[in-house]
């Protein structure tokens, strides 16, 4: 006796598969792909870099700050960083710090140079005008380059979308479960 899937089970399987794909793609869209580059600054690979007169505008809100490193891994930690963005009046509109780390199956073991992007965070631009960027990098591994990229109009997490994806996955999984009856040949 051959077991055949009913149209309900097939639909459930496809819904679960599409929701799973959305679970992978939505975070990539929010964190990496959304927005357009509004400013980019090459940074010193060690120490403090200051860039003045970076034009930002409220129409660019939200702006996402991303650090790009070219690193020759010697462990999981790449660098400690601090990024501050101030408006023309000296008011801080963004201030974040942290540690850039490699998280892969090699555990950051020594190897060839490779790129690493770190999503530092997002911020609103309250007023148009020139802004100053101060970035401090403390390397924990040899860095061949470092850059700060500001991406305007970047997407923010929308929990309604996350809930819809999760709900679709659960609904598809339940719908796609095989029934207890066998269909004969």
Residues 71-85 have pLDDT tens digits of 887 777 889 999 999
Residues 27 and 88 grouped into a single domain? no
Q: Are residues 150 and 123 in the same domain?
A: yes
Q: Kindly state whether residue 87 falls inside one of the protein's structural domains.
A: yes
Residues 63 and 149 in one domain: yes
Residue 54 and residue 15 share a domain: no
Contact between 39 and 56 under an 8 Å Cβ cutoff? The reply is yes
* Domain limits for position 80: 36-154
Residue with the bigger pLDDT between 55 and 181: it is 55
The burial class, CB within 10 Å (0-12 / 13-18 / 19+), for 148 is buried
Per residue in 110-138, pLDDT (tens digit) is: 566 678 889 899 999 999 999 999 999 99
State whether 147 and 163 are in the same domain.
Answer: no
Q: Give the pLDDT of residue 185.
A: 46
CB of 46 closer than 8 Å to CB of 143 = yes
């Amino acid at each position: 006796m051959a077991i055949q899937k009913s149209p309900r089970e097939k639909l459930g399987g496809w819904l679960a598969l599409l929701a799973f794909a959305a679970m992978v793609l939505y975070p990539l869209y929010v964190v990496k792909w959304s927005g357009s580059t509004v400013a980019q600054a090459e940074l010193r690979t060690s120490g403090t870099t200051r860039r003045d007169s970076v034009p930002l505008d409220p129409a660019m809100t939200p702006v996402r700050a991303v650090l790009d490193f070219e690193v020759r891994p010697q462990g999981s930690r790449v660098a400690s960083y601090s990024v501050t963005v101030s408006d023309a009046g000296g008011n801080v509109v963004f201030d974040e710090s942290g540690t850039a780390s490699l998280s892969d199956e090699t555990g950051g073991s020594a190897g060839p140079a490779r790129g690493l992007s770190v999503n530092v965070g997002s911020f609103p631009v309250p007023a148009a005008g020139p802004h100053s960027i101060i970035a401090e990098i403390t390397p924990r591994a040899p860095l061949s380059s470092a850059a700060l990229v500001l991406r305007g109009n970047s997407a923010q997490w929308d929990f309604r979308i996350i809930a819809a994806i999760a709900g679709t996955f659960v609904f598809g999984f339940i719908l796609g479960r095989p029934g207890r009856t066998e269909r004969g040949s």
